[in-house]
Amino acid sequence: MASARLVYVLSPAKTLDLSASRISQCSQPRLLSDAHELISQLRALSQAKVKSLLGVSDALAKLNYDRFQSFDVSETATKVSDPSETLKQAALAFNGPAYQGLEAHNLSESDLEYAQTHLRILCGLYGVLRPLDLIQPYRLEMGQKFANKRGKDLYEFWGDTIVSELDALFSEEEANEDEKKQRVLLNVASQEYFKSLPRDALEKVGISVVDCVFKDDGKIKSVYAKRARGLMCRYLIQKRVDSLQGITGFDLEGYKYSRAASSDDTFVFTRSAAEQKAALQQTKAKTATPTKSKAKASPKAKRVAARVEKEEAKVDDKIEGDGEKPQLRRSTRKKRKTD
């Protein structure tokens, strides 16, 4: 079984968990100066323009306008070494279906250390993040057409920067290895985010891409596929998978590798309706059982979390996370002109 150097990329989530982190391990985003450049431009937007850019309600527009204005870009922010009421590790702060599947808060210390060199989170504001990189609350989708000093959108802003970061990651690990391994990037991100990694640029630095597809009862069902992406990352981290063959062993929550539906660069995992139902029942039972206790949030953190939850609930678009386009909830209410 030929070994490979695996790195997996995941999308962020729109929803955030701002409760206190019980994990002290953390790191600083590598592209903070770029993020601060974006923030300086976002701060110049009026609340109305923030609303238009993000495509959200007045309530969420105000929330994120305030976030941009209060975003800490001081030198102190680049030296902070602990989670706080306004800083939390990316894999713990993001709270969409994929991150519920990843369950970073239940990974061991050694698992988190391993994830630091194998899992990367693509991000509109920070470019690319390690799981334990500290982030501030924000909302900025990679696919949103935010004209900036580098181009017409965030894809042009980041250019080949993220690919260069991935190339550096592979190179750092190769420097400590005697055996030459194939560079493999496992795509468990949404199309919107993976578009930030030009395939020709990846090929130039010798990185091969393998896409993961998850099907339930023969179809790709968004919310289940998102959770499966996180489950896949959890599986790879805990099993320390280092080969393409090892990826095909993924079997969490009833998924199985389909050799017939797969190809060399696309791995398809499927499960039946019955297996999906059984997995949902197991998940419900698991969430009903207390796991590791979380650290108690301070009164201020609780107020911030409650405010965010309240503001998120006011919007009509149901936020599913993972950077996908929001699906509108059907409502019997009279349509409002402002939403």
Rounded Cα distance, 206 and 182, in Å: 8
**What's the pTM?**
0.84
The C-alpha atoms of residue 189 and residue 199 are separated, in whole angstroms, by: 14
Look at residue 209 and tell me if it is in a domain.
yes
The H-assigned helical ranges of the chain are 32-42, 47-54, 58-70, 90-93, 97-102, 109-116, 154-158, 161-174, 191-194, 199-204, 222-239, 244-247, 273-288, 299-314
Establish if 292 belongs to a structural domain. Answer: yes
Task: Please name the amino acid found at residue 155.
Answer: Y
Q: Which residues contact 125 (CB under 8 A, 6 or more apart)?
A: 35, 38, 39, 138, 140
* Predicted local confidence at residue 53, as pLDDT: 97
- Quote the number of domains for the chain: 1
Contact 190, 63 (CB under 8 A): no
Instruction: Return the number of other C-beta atoms located less than 10 Å from residue 296's C-beta.
Output: 10
| Residues whose CB is less than 8 angstroms from the CB of residue 196 and which lie 6 or more positions away in sequence, other chains included | 122, 142, 154, 155, 158, 162
Q: Evaluate whether residue 305 is within a structural domain.
A: yes
| CB contact at 8 A, 7 and 166 | yes
Whether 70 maps to a domain, the answer reads no
Report if residue 12 sits inside a domain.
yes
Identify the pLDDT of residue 312: 47
C-alpha span between 22 and 25 (Å, rounded): 9
116 domain residue, yes or no: yes
- 267 sits in the region (left: phi over 0; alpha: psi -120 to 50; else beta) called beta
Residue 126 domain boundaries: 4-22+91-132+158-327
Assigned token pair, 93:
């702060």
Q: At what angle do helices 58-70 and 47-54 cross, to 10 degrees?
A: 110
In a domain, 64, yes or no: no
Low-confidence ranges of the chain (pLDDT < 70): 1-2, 287-339
Query: Does residue 337 sit within a domain?
Result: no
What pLDDT score does 323 carry? Answer: 38
pLDDT at site 316: 34
